[in-house]
Structure 1
Amino acid sequence: MRTITLAILALSFFSCTKTTSEEQLLRVPYTSEIANEERDFFLYLPKGYDANPDKEWPVLLFLHGNGERGNGKDELGFTMIHGPLNEAWIQKRDLPFIIISPQLHMFTMGEVSYIKNRSKESIPQRLAEGTPKPNQAARPGQPMNPLPAMRFDSITSTVLPDGWDRVEHDLIGMLDHVQENYRTDNNRIYLSGLSYGGFGTWYLASNYPERFAAIAPIVGWGHPDLMPSIAQEQLPVWCFAGGRDLTIKPEYFYAGLNELEALGHKDVRFTIHADMGHDTWKRVYAGEDIYNWLLSHSNP
């Protein structure tokens, strides 16, 4: 297995005056294989990590969406805008996971309007006291409308342009590093992502199905060609879509999910939030069900 070089030293974001039982957010430097440059990824250690030296913790690898790309340095904070790291660090929820949160390279996406026009003022900040108002999923104006499954005869690519597939060796290197240097429960390694990260979740799970105990792609469909290895490994899947999502439409999900079942997969869940749009992830990650479901699965 190809790996990358990661530095063991990590820089802590939390005040040194806090006790060692408090949650911690670290920046871990690594050398990106594809760019041959030093970048950082966030590593969240849950409350009680230092106070329980004999405990092994579940790991959640989180892949963000297209709008949170960056240079892995002063732009890394964009990865906290959405997802489990926002819930754990910004909203101060006691999530019992070690969370790995990398940042996807910009590649050719720098001129996309919602990336080009973003501001670092939108990076959420952890408050010394209390929490900021959580993001609420918007309710789109178009009506809810069940649609038939789409055919994939003309869609040959299993990935999106400049997606997480380009840094798969970086991601596996991060996972290797965390498992080697932190107290991880290696039977409970989970993978989840939203939008672009949802597509990345399917791709990484297809290539490394034995590494994960369960996956939860959100508003990102999986191409049928990615399903054989996931089905063979019987990797539990819970996929989410927004019924009013005009970006990643629900009808695109069925072909891959039906392929999983046709291949004999026994643990496939698909939930459509019919009243929600593309930002369905806000509701999903703000709830309890996804975390409880992940924790209910363990590799043999």
Structure 2
Amino acid sequence: MFRSLLSVVALASIALWSPMPAFAGQTALTSNASIKNDLNYLLYKPSDYDSSDKTYPLVVWLHGGDQGGSDIEKVKRSGLPKLIEGGKEFPFLVFSPQNPSEELLYPIEKVDAALEDVIAKHRVDRSRIYVIGYSRGGFGAWALAEQFPDRFAAIVPIAGGGNRHYLNRTNEKAAFWVFHGTDDDVIPLSDSVVLYERLKGLKRNVRLSVLEGVDHSGIEAAALNDTGLWDWLLKQRLESAPK
């Protein structure tokens, strides 16, 4: 018995004097890596811009998924850039960034940074900045409204979707007009309806236009050719524009 006790004491002494095993630790660090903003974009200026000194509204146009990459000419194939290429004139600036990815969603932090640069270099009415996005660009429009709520007076998602759980972050003073077709087999109509209903529950200024018999490829032109959209859009203004 006595020998057993001595053995236990000896083992305990060895344990006390043995080096403790090292444990992995965590270090708090701050990254100073910079991200190059290399977005390509088109910029449209109204015909009277250079001869005037007034400020202008600005529309951000976010294209669909088949125009991403590095060839900026692809952005002219549809949407506002196509209308402009066809001779359509607008009383506002149009900023059309190209999604650098052909597969992923827009890098909206880069989009907003490029937008701020455009605003700083041009006479933009900061109380009248709008975003219109189609398909993948519609997802971008919802995301911009949620992550940069003080930027936009109006948001027009066309056949897009998003995260309804962050809609409470959108600007209470911003206006939304959502477009979707009943025959869309790419982005389900329900994606827009869920977001619309959530905004209604938040008592936001929102309207939904569901176009009967219109598919995913047809809803873009149908929405942009709605003259009521432009009349409505240019009436939207933030009461307190960001400086």
Could you tell me the TM-score, scaled by structure 1's length?
0.65
* Counterpart position of 2:23: none
* Counterpart position of 1:184: 124
- Between the aligned partners of 1:170 and 1:252, the Cα distance in structure 2 is 25
* Counterpart position of 1:272: 210
Please say which structure displays the higher CA radius of gyration.
2
* Counterpart position of 1:99: 94
Shift of 1:169: 2.1
Secondary structure of the residue aligned to 2:69 is: coil
CA RMSD of aligned residues (A): 1.6
Q: Which 5+ residue runs of structure 2 have no aligned equivalent?
A: 1-33
| Change in 2 beyond 3 A, CA 1:244/1:202 | same
What amino acid maps onto 2:50 in structure 1? D
Structure 1, 170-179 or 180-189: larger mean CA deviation:
170-179
Q: What does 1:207-286 correspond to in 2, within 5 Å?
A: 207-230=147-170, 232-265=171-204, 267-279=205-217, 280-286=219-225
Partner of residue 81 from structure 1, selected from 77, 83, 106: 77
- Between the aligned partners of 2:172 and 2:37, the Cα distance in structure 1 is 34
Percent pairwise identity: 29
For residues 180-234 of structure 1, what are the alpha-carbon distances to aligned partners after superposition, in whole Å with 9 as ceiling and x for unaligned? 111111110000110000011001110111100101000012331131012x523
Could you tell me the TM-score, scaled by structure 2's length?
0.80
- How many aligned positions are there? 205
- Between the aligned partners of 2:78 and 2:61, the Cα distance in structure 1 is 10
Residue pair 1:87, 1:286 contacting (<8 A) in 2 also: no
* Counterpart position of 2:108: 168
Secondary structure of the residue aligned to 1:178 is: helix
Q: Which 5+ residue runs of structure 1 have no aligned equivalent?
A: 1-32, 110-161
Q: What does 1:56-135 correspond to in 2, within 5 Å?
A: 56-71=55-70, 75-88=71-84, 90-106=85-101, 109=103
- Between the aligned partners of 2:229 and 2:190, the Cα distance in structure 1 is 22
| Change in 2 beyond 3 A, CA 1:42/1:225 | same
Query: Going by fraction, where is helix more abundant, 1 or 2?
Result: 2
For residues 40-60 of structure 1, what are the alpha-carbon distances to aligned partners after superposition, in whole Å with 9 as ceiling and x for unaligned? 3111111111111x2111000
Secondary structure of the residue aligned to 1:222 is: coil
Q: What does 1:13-32 correspond to in 2, within 5 Å?
A: none
